[in-house]
Amino acid sequence: MYILVINAGSSSLKYQLLDMSSESVLAKGLCERIGIDGRLIHETDKGKHVADLPMPDHGATMAIVLDSLLDAEHGVIASKDEIKAVGHRVVHGGETFTASVLITDEVEAAIEAVSDLAPLHNPPNLTGIRACKQHMPSVPQVAVFDTAFHQTMPAKAYLYAIDYVLYQKHKIRKYGFHGTSHKYVSECAAEILKRPAADLKLVTCHLGNGVSLCAVDGGISVDTSMGMTPLEGLAMGTRCGDIDPAVVQFIMEKEGISAQEAGSLLNKNSGVLGISGVSSDFRDLAAAADKGNERAVAALEVFAYRVAGYIGRYAACMNGLDAIIFTAGIGENDTMIREKICSYLTWFGVDVDPELNGKRGQALDVSKPNAKVRVLVIPTNEELVIARDTKTILGK
């Protein structure tokens, strides 16, 4: 069974076509600069195909995606009918969606209704859904939400200590993101540790451009570091994470900027980029730190210190910890950051083997044999989770 996975952003659209009999990727690609000019990067076993093509909107972009999949030279299918379903990444499901769903008119309206909570993400996700419906009207479409995995959090974890009326009126609370990634790596961890998920207390660390940690107790999310929006929690590439909320008003008054400008500052010019003034990319930061750039050193220190602090917090919240899982761009590749984070956690029983920690590209337990708390590195695969959920829903 072939399933197409779509991740539609405002000016980009990522896709993967998966053969679910072997869970292998037949083709994947990226359409960039939608609404500007348009560029396609399409990859298959046969190689990479790059083309500048007009992409005035998501409808035209989806037509290009389907043409590429059907193309005589770099295509992988002979007919659109081979695509049995489409799985869409949808960022925010609010409190409405606790699991993936088959998209109906009512579901579309409900996704629209929670768009207030993710004004930059949900509208383009919906545009992607509509573009697929336009080109494949009889193919089932499934929505997979970044927030759904975290809907198991108890109220003590998701309530903010603000007037309860604001929660009731506007649904202001912690939702959490990266749910597909946290779910995937926590399930892989149970397999690697050869123990039932129900018996495990895990902290999954998704360290990419966006950064979030999740406390997974007995296979379910009981707490996570991102909040109502992806701005809360750890220091990220360009996002500030936790700060004193009073800082926002203070900056607005001192710098004479609007609420919107303050939001942009905290989302786009903060995090490790803000501290270092160098880059949001950890490879650039490491290179600058090596050359003695003190702000780059400080950015890396702040990043690792906060991640370690959150791991400790979640160990306390779960009253135990069996394993820490690192995933995503930084988590999978940056051995130095992993080492730095783990150096805070030796008293918990973390003991990383430096040689194993140096390996890359595979799921691995990098701990020494007797370490009480295991440290695992697991490459994430959000597209596979979306395709699996889509397949499951189709089977119902």
Which residues form the catalytic set? 146
Residue number with CB closer to ligand ADP (75 or 329): 329
CB of 183 to ligand ADP, least distance (A): 16
Which span sits near ligand ADP by CB under 6 A: 97-105, 146-154, 325-333, 385-393? Answer: 325-333
One-letter amino acid identity for 343? S
Task: Establish if 141 lies at the interface with ligand ADP (CB under 6 A).
Answer: no
Spatial distance between the Cα atoms of 226 and 235, rounded to a whole number of angstroms: 11
Give the contact letters, 196-235, x = binds to ligand ADP (CB under 6 A), - = no.
------------xxx-------------------------
Give the residue closest to ligand ADP by C-beta. Answer: 329
Residue number with CB closer to ligand ADP (131 or 330): 330
Residue number with CB closer to ligand ADP (14 or 173): 14
Coil vs helix vs strand at 116: helix
Give the E-state strand segments of the chain in sequence order. 2-8, 13-19, 24-32, 39-44, 47-52, 83-90, 101-102, 141-145, 201-207, 211-217, 220-224, 323-327, 364-365, 374-377
- Binder among 334, 365, 383, 389 for ligand ADP (CB under 6 A): 334
Sites for ligand ADP among residues 232-261 (CB under 6 A) = 237
Spatial distance between the Cα atoms of 18 and 21, rounded to a whole number of angstroms: 9
Residue number with CB closer to ligand ADP (64 or 337): 337
Q: Find the helix or strand (DSSP H, E) in which 170 lies.
A: helix 164-170
Residue number with CB closer to ligand ADP (103 or 337): 337
Over its C-alpha atoms, the chain yields an Rg (Å, rounded) of 21
Task: Establish if 32 lies at the interface with ligand ADP (CB under 6 A).
Answer: no
Dihedral class, residue 361 (left if φ above 0, else alpha if ψ from -120 to 50, else beta): left
Q: Do the beta carbons of residue 30 and residue 13 sit within 8 Å? A: yes
Spatial distance between the Cα atoms of 359 and 377, rounded to a whole number of angstroms: 9
CB of 279 to ligand ADP, least distance (A): 8
CB of 364 to ligand ADP, least distance (A): 16
Q: Do the beta carbons of residue 7 and residue 180 sit within 8 Å? A: no
CB of 133 to ligand ADP, least distance (A): 26
Chain Cα centroid distance, residue 217: 20
CB of 206 to ligand ADP, least distance (A): 8
Q: Which of 323, 312, 393 is nearest to 101 (CA)?
A: 393
* φ, ψ dihedrals at 82, nearest 5°: -70, -20
- Give, rounded to a whole angstrom, the gap between the first and last alpha carbons of the chain: 15
Beta bridge partners of 377: 326, 364
Handedness of CA 176, 178, 180, 182 (dihedral sign): negative
CB of 282 to ligand ADP, least distance (A): 4
Task: Establish if 333 lies at the interface with ligand ADP (CB under 6 A).
Answer: yes
Which span sits near ligand ADP by CB under 6 A: 71-79, 91-99, 101-109, 322-330? Answer: 322-330
- Binder among 282, 303, 314, 326 for ligand ADP (CB under 6 A): 282
Spatial distance between the Cα atoms of 101 and 115, rounded to a whole number of angstroms: 17
- Binder among 65, 144, 213, 328 for ligand ADP (CB under 6 A): 328
Which span sits near ligand ADP by CB under 6 A: 6-14, 85-93, 222-230, 327-335? Answer: 327-335
- Binder among 281, 339, 351, 353 for ligand ADP (CB under 6 A): 281
Spatial distance between the Cα atoms of 126 and 279, rounded to a whole number of angstroms: 32
- Binder among 38, 124, 271, 329 for ligand ADP (CB under 6 A): 329
CB of 340 to ligand ADP, least distance (A): 12
CB of 372 to ligand ADP, least distance (A): 28
Q: Which two tokens stand for residue 299?
A: 């950015």
Residue number with CB closer to ligand ADP (189 or 300): 300
Strands 323-327 and 374-377: parallel
Q: What residue ranges bind ligand ADP (CB under 6 A)?
A: 208-210, 237, 280-283, 328-330, 333-334
